[in-house]
Amino acid sequence: MEAGFTTVRNVGARGFSDVALRDAINAGDVPGPRMLVSGPALSITGGHCDNNLLPFEYHASSEGAADGIEAVQHKVREIIKYGADVIKICATGGVMSKGDDPNTSQFTLEEMKAIVAEAHRLGRKVAAHAHGAQGVSWASEAGVDSVEHGHLMDDASIAALKKNGTYLVPTLYLMDWHRENAARSNVPEYSRRKMEMVSQVGQKNVAMAAGVKIALGTDAAVYPHGLNAHEFGVYVRLGMTPLQAIQSGTLNGADLLGWSDKIGTIEAGKWADIVAVDGDPLQDVSTLEHVKFVMKGGAVVKNEYVK
């Protein structure tokens, strides 16, 4: 919140810790942004978002692991039961997980359609982690509301996003951060190799996705919280205007969350969320990395202009 993000969507937290944090913030027990949260992400057994770090005798499995249509339907209902505002699924392998491939799809198209149908029927949107092209295409065809990452897309998967009106949340600054901090980051070698592979093509592939709806997202805390606004600068570097980059985190973000009537613009009847910086972000979007003033819902929560 002190970095200027007054509303966030958290997609993936074991033990429903994000549900507890959301509720604590809403109760006024701790300061923080408004949160829409997913609880545990849905994963195939052994996939990205499952627990793959312990040997067989521990029989360790994540709370979101499920296989088959009936099982994923049950898992969606269970996660909603315990407080999820949105459903997160892992449609492909990932970078930070062991034993999977970011290019490889995980849930079948039929399983993802069942997840989306159940979530939408119960009033929840669906966010899909997906790097590889087939996983991006299947997630979009299944009707997810957003694809997170999309770093290994191809022309066909980009076309699917456009056709279906699926939001892409690119999470690109994490590549810059890891490149700059690789020597001192405590990342396992298997993750380091996958990050290098994804970084070689990820930003270029997202830059090719002209015409796809973009909402800003950061993948914090894969890198430290508070650096979230660096994402704007990557979008501008890849061809967006500063205004388009800012709108990805305001207008478009509000639309993706389903909260366009509450946030995203400053107008009568909406929550008064305002940030202030020294300078004009339409001329230099990096000024948003140094927020001096934050108002959330009409209450000032940060003010460096008053000593």
- Which member of 100, 219, 273, 302 is catalytic? 219
Burial (CB < 10 A; 0-12, 13-18, 19+), residue 200, is exposed
Instruction: Report how far apart, in Å, the C-alpha atoms of 104 and of each of 25, 194, 207, 209 are.
Output: 37, 13, 22, 20
Task: Tell the burial category of 298 from Cβ atoms under 10 Å away from its Cβ (0-12, 13-18, 19+).
Answer: exposed
How many of the other CB atoms lie within 10 Å of CB of 262? Answer: 15
CA atoms within 13 A on the CB side of 251: 8
Name the strands in the sheet holding 86-90, side by side, starting at the edge strand that comes first in the sequence: 86-90, 125-132, 146-152, 167-169
Of 73, 88, 75, 1, residue with least CA distance to 37: 88
Q: Is 88 a catalytic residue?
A: yes
**Contact criterion met (CB below 8 Å) for 252 and 240:** no
One of 88, 113, 125, 296 is an active-site residue; which one?
Answer: 88
- Pair 6, 33: CB distance under 8 Å: yes
Task: Check if 154 is active-site.
Answer: no
Which residue in this structure is represented by tokens 């690789």? 182
Active site residues: 88, 219
